[in-house]
Amino acid sequence: MAYFLLSILAYVIGSIPFGLIVGKLGYKIDIREHGSGNLGGTNTFRVLGIKAGIIVTAGDILKGTLAASLPFLFQVDNVYPLIIGIFAVIGHMYPLFAKFKGGKAVATSGGVILGVSPLIFIVMIISFFIFLYITKYVSLSSMLTGIITVIVTIVLQNVGLAIVTSILTLIVIYRHTANIKRIMNKTEPKITWM
């Protein structure tokens, strides 16, 4: 019962569409009608700029962190925080409050990891910016960061974390299928600020 209730709450938290909220309240723009049409941080950066992008990315990260922290906040024993966190990721991808069309799960997945292992989250951030500097592709950097995270958790012999990070990485890669095709066709946009 605890798993069910916390999972539903995590899904609702994950469904908060920060990209939509920031776009409409701050810029009178429905971000789904611009750029890639995605509600995530990357599209927000491209369409609305750095300030909005940072706010949306931070909000999306914190959704995952809050969801993974629910078992601690409600003092519920025998509930694995990472499993609860996965439901926030599902909420972010298929948000209840945005016609089930959300983001690509990168920031919220990172937030879930932050909720249980800040050290691994730091490794993820460092890895992401290294890959971004080398490739100039946000999408590719996100996927490679997921793979590095899985490797790190395996090396640390944290079985539960390795399983969940593997699931989250597969989700991220799946959500970037179109990006992979564009990278192969050399039509994927590159960043220009790094």
* pLDDT at position 194 over 80: no
> What are the backbone angles phi and psi of residue 122, rounded to the nearest 5°?
-65, -40
How many CB atoms sit inside 10 A of residue 26's CB? 12
Tell me if 194 is assigned to some domain: no
Total domains present in the chain:
1
Q: Residue 81 and residue 86: Cα distance in Å, rounded?
A: 9
Please return the burial class of 58, using the count of CB atoms within 10 Å of its CB with bins 0-12, 13-18 and 19+: middle
Structural domain span for residue 96: 2-184
The pLDDT tens digits of the residues spanning 82-114 come to: 999 999 999 999 999 999 999 999 999 999 999
* Inside any domain, residue 192: no
Q: In 3-state terms, what secondary structure has residue 2?
A: helix
Average pLDDT, the chain: 94
For residue 137, tell me if it sits in a domain: yes
**Predicted confidence (pLDDT) at residue 36 exceeds the cutoff of 90:** no
Residue 191 falls inside a structural domain: no
- Asked if residue 190 is part of any domain, the answer here is no
